[in-house]
Chain A
Amino acid sequence: MEENKNFTVSVYTENNIGILNRLSAIFLKRHINIESMTVSKSEIEHVHRFTFVVIVPETLIRKVVLQLEKQIEVIGAFYHTEDEIIYHETALFKIASTHLYDEKIQNKLKFRRAHIIAITERYFVIEASGLKEDIDNMYDKLKPYGLLQFVRSGRIAITKPKMAISELLAEIN
């Protein structure tokens, strides 16, 4: 059996209704779970970018990416391994105010890309960002204080190799 790997899939699409369904249907028919997903504008006007994280064998992701790319409103689809991308995730932690002046929490924030972004009488909110592991670490450290809420974003990633979407668009047109 071929080894499962973490792949970041970037899909450039038109910004139309229903594309998310069309893309997720490709993962669904191959019985692949989507670990995380982010959708946003891209560097090109009217072009959106989906970033999916999936854990599958490489031979499979190659086929899936071709099937994604085959969709009419997809301009380009790519997959990359962890070492081919620079990526980031963000998380928010909501904690009861009783812990706000706890030195231990303050120390935990010191050396990481984490800071307090809101304080109220009842709670405060910590934002942390970094690699998946950084956020996992932060989660483990803050959990003992009782997380009132926890949420983390999907991955956003910039690839080291060129994806040349503008060239692709120019070539088709």
Chain B
Amino acid sequence: METLKKEIQQKIVEKTIRIAGAEAVIKCLLAEGVDLAYGYPGGAIMPIYDEIYKYQEQFHHVLTRHEQGAIHAAQGFARVTGKVGMVFATSGPGATNLVTGIADAQIDSTPLVCITGQVGSHLLGSDAFQETDIIGISTPVTKWNYQITKASEIPEIIAKAFYIAKSGRPGPVLIDITKDAQFGELDFSYKKCEKVRSYRAVPKLNIEKVKEAAELINNAKKPFIVWGQGVILGGAEQEFKKFIEKTNIPSACTGLGLSALETAHPLHVGMVGMHGNYAPNVLTNSCDVLIAIGMRFDDRVTGNLATYAKQAKVIHFEIDPAEVDKNVKTDIAVIADVKESLVEIMQYVNKADHKNWIQEFHKLYNIEHKAVISDQLNPTKEGLTMGEVIGGINKETNGDAIIVSDVGQHQMFAWRYAEFIKTRSNVTSGGLGTMGFALPASIGAKMGAPDREVVAIIGDGGYQMTCNELGTILQTKAAVKIVVLNNSYLGMVRQWQELFFDKRYASTEMISPDFVKLAEAYDIEAVRVSKREDLAGAIKKMIASKEAYFLEVVIEQEDNIFPMIPTGASVSDIRLS
């Protein structure tokens, strides 16, 4: 298969042929090694869909039930494979329906190329049928975008789009192609893009900064690492592990950093942030050197910046210069590719022990375990909890599953309790917090990693934002395992209403349809569990299934997620109840 792909790519690169723009688009994608796209056809992109039809032997297209589903699926694919996710949509509403996913990919640094159809160039700006200024609309949320109005521009621009989407800090690129450019002919040949003169994908590593950072680390008594998705995006998981194992520095991750290091690693001290673990949050304000690796100090990570790690010297390993000193003032910034930086710093850092310091994390873990974890995983109350469902999934999958989480309480439980043994296993909407992300993303994740178990954890609210994508599962037979944790509330908002708005549950109570019947209507085997004694067996059966499977778990209605750093509070003021 790989050789065949290479042959096709080679042929395309060598010959110059006269073809239509629409065909050129498909040839460009094949040359980039893309043979799978998600999308939804419509008037302004019909010439391209006609070519998708003609090339169906080589190029696979997944029809979703909404453009938002297409882009989230492409995000799921990109997140588990590290490749560029590919999306097609038509002009007007097709294009605007992508915007949420584009914004999500931008804030979570997910490489995507979205191609939208556009009205003919002679109609641009005339308020033509299904015309919208998608370039204007998508500008603030794309890494780059461009409108093609001539067929001859297609090869160069698509090559540039792929280069920009995946190089440096990845992100979404949108290419809008007018209908006449799709119909128009060009002399086609393809050359991959290797540089853009105004764009420095990866800043040059400054060895002096590496040495300064190493010296600070070597002299630290209480060093603490917080790593983020940068470790995964930079493919630096092994280098990261070697670095922490040599220096013996306790390390915590952000939500998107999860799975870069196996959960059971002795130096993995949990997750920071609003619903993260007690020890790493509290001890952020005790460490003497805070080493941030491939993360951007999101407000959900730092809590109140005025009281965040003020005692510590801060070292920031980061590829994007605009992230340095944006939220937290750093003492030493190593601005470069994280893998390169970690390889380089290994020769300057000393072996260390930090036994007593690590012990402090363990002590606080025990406090959290007693106050929260034990009860969340093995509850004594009658109603089922989200934590025990995640625990049950861990048991059945031995941590070897891709966990795709939606947004809300269930997401926080998934982040806190899912056990990972492989990287790129936590697919979630982190920065944007897009409800409705998980179901379509799980379809893309399964297609990107067909040999792995993919479990989507979704709340009853988010599920109903994109459950139309059950149709895509029906049609593609993507064997995703869907777990809906149903507490009949928009649980996270309800929790905030309980804690900060005097229990005024404004518009958070939710009456839902029979989810089991709904899944069955799409020919998906479905089960509802509301008793503890049925849970383990149901999860076992779901994981054993070779096909898509739906499991609804009826959750205790007012189950809350703790620990919690209330908005505006300091990380060390994290509440256990």
Contact = CB atoms under 8 A, between A and B. Distances in A.
B326 interface: yes
B143 A72 contact: yes
Interface in B13-64: none
Contacts of B198: 13-14, 72-75, 169, 172
A99 B135 CA distance: 50
A173 B195 contact: yes
A29 interface: yes
Contacts of A74: 198
Contact of B200 (A28, A73, A172): A172
A137 interface: no
B320 A70 contact: yes
B570 to A, nearest CB: 21
Interface residues of A, number: 22
A89 interface: no
Interface residues of B, number: 22
A94 B452 CA distance: 74
A141 interface: no
B197 A70 contact: no
Contacts of A75: 197-198
A22 B139 contact: yes
Nearest to B141: A25
Nearest to B196: A72
A62 B326 CA distance: 9
A163 B514 CA distance: 65
Interface string B111-143: 000000000000000000000000110011001
Contact of B136 (A21, A66, A67): A21
Contacts of B196: 72
**Chain A contact residues: helix, strand, loop or mixed:** helix
B365 interface: no
Interface in A48-70: 62-63, 66-67, 69-70
Given A21-B136, A25-B139, A72 B197 contact: no
A169 B196 CA distance: 10
B322 A72 contact: no
B164 A70 contact: no
A50 B315 CA distance: 34
A70 B199 CA distance: 8
A18 B135 contact: yes
A28 B141 CA distance: 13
A173 B194 CA distance: 10
A63 B326 contact: yes
Contacts of B284: none
Contacts of A173: 195, 197
Interface in A109-164: none
Contact of A69 (B147, B321, B324, B325): B321
A66 B200 CA distance: 13
B197 A172 contact: yes
A18 B322 contact: no
Contacts of B325: 62-63
A72 B139 contact: no
Nearest to B133: A21
Contacts of B164: 72
B405 interface: no
A173 B196 CA distance: 8
A1 interface: no
Nearest to B169: A70
Nearest to A18: B135
B525 to A, nearest CB: 46
Contacts of A172: 195, 197-200
A21 B147 CA distance: 14
Contact of A67 (B135, B139, B199, B322): B322
A70 B195 contact: no
A75 B198 CA distance: 5
A29 B321 contact: no
B243 interface: no
B140 A18 contact: no
A70 B144 CA distance: 11
Nearest to A29: B140
Interface in A9-48: 13-14, 17-18, 21-22, 25, 28-29
A72 to B, nearest CB: 4
A70 B147 contact: no
A76 B266 CA distance: 44
Nearest to B326: A63
B145 A66 contact: no
A172 B202 CA distance: 10
A60 B514 CA distance: 51
A120 to B, nearest CB: 36
A71 B145 CA distance: 11
Interface in B302-348: 320-322, 324-326
Contacts of B136: 18, 21
A169 B198 CA distance: 7
A74 B200 CA distance: 10
B102 to A, nearest CB: 14
A39 B325 CA distance: 29
Contacts of A62: 325
A62 B321 CA distance: 11
B322 A63 contact: yes
Contact of B199 (A28, A29, A63, A72): A72
B259 to A, nearest CB: 27
A93 B135 CA distance: 38
Contacts of B145: 18
Contacts of A29: 140
B132 to A, nearest CB: 15
Interface in B519-546: none
Contacts of A63: 322, 325-326
A5 to B, nearest CB: 18
A10 to B, nearest CB: 15
A74 B147 CA distance: 18
Central interface residue in B164, B197, B198, B324, by most chain A CB within 10 Å = B198
Given A22-B139, A66-B322, A69-B321, A169 B197 contact: yes
23 contacts: A13-B198, A14-B198, A17-B147, A18-B135, A18-B139, A18-B145, A18-B147, A21-B136, A21-B139, A25-B139, A62-B325, A63-B322, A66-B321, A66-B322, A66-B324, A70-B321, A72-B199, A73-B199, A75-B197, A75-B198, A172-B195, A172-B198, A173-B197
Given A63-B322, A169-B197, A172-B195, 4 more contacts: A29-B140, A66-B324, A72-B143, A172-B200
**Which 9 A-B residue pairings sit nearest by Cβ, starting from the closest?**
A66-B322, A25-B140, A72-B144, A75-B198, A70-B322, A72-B199, A21-B139, A67-B322, A172-B200
Interface of A: 13-14, 17-18, 21-22, 25, 28-29, 62-63, 66-67, 69-70, 72-75, 169, 172-173
